Chains A and B, each alone.
Chain A
Amino acid sequence: MRVQEALTIEEIQRRFPDEWVLIEVLEEDDLGRPLRGYVTAHSADRDRIYAIQTEFTGDYAVCYTGALPRKGFAIAF
């Protein structure tokens, strides 16, 4: 499942639009945001990615590549 080449976060967003991705982080910025890494898994099902990431040791990011819901949604937690 792992994509064998390191991708930038912009490339990951382009290749896996509106999906949850698990990224092995190779590079971060000053704010801790991943800049580059290997996509280890991707899915439209968030819980699948949550389950898969338990199998990995190291520095991994879970990230939704799409936008936050806008029209017709309000976020309240």
Chain B
Amino acid sequence: MEFRFDPSAPAIVVFVVLQGRSPGQRRRLRLALDIGATYTLIPWEIARALGYHPERSRRRVQLLTADGVLYVPLITVAQVRALGQTVSGLEVLVHDLPPAGRVDGLLGLNFLRHFTLTLDFPRGRLTLESASPRRSGSR
């Protein structure tokens, strides 16, 4: 499935569908595609609306920001869908980005690495395809 983007835009922003703990509870957000981010990241209030409890999470990750190091909760989201692909049980960081960035979070490597990502900047085209199975013995 092909996604068209503006190659001159300051970020590539995609809609991501997050599944809540209960069936039917769903949120769609605009996340910046970020191959420099280890984890996918969503805001606190969205996580809460989906029925997750980031404040109770014992899993914390050091997040290096311009303002210093923060300890940010990690939760497991039942299902994350973006660019026509789905990952179940995705670990997601919970942290609010500054509103001036006008995106709600980040679509990071822990989602993208399940697939073959092709970014064609001259044509402004992005595809995310199911990864081909690795041949046995290949590295």
Contacts and interface: CB of A to CB of B under 8 A. Distances in A.
Main secondary structure of the interface of A (DSSP, over half): loop
A31 B81 CA distance: 8
For chain B, which range describes its interface: under 10, 10 to 19, 20 to 34, or 35 or more residues? 35 or more
Contacts of B102: 64, 66, 68-69
Main secondary structure of the interface of B (DSSP, over half): mixed
B44 to A, nearest CB: 8
B122 interface: no
Interface string A48-77: 001101101111111110101110011111
Interface of A: 25, 28, 30-34, 46-47, 50-51, 53-54, 56-64, 66, 68-70, 73-77
Interface of B: 1, 3, 9-11, 13-17, 22, 24-30, 32, 34, 36-37, 41, 43-46, 48-49, 66, 81-84, 97, 99-104, 106
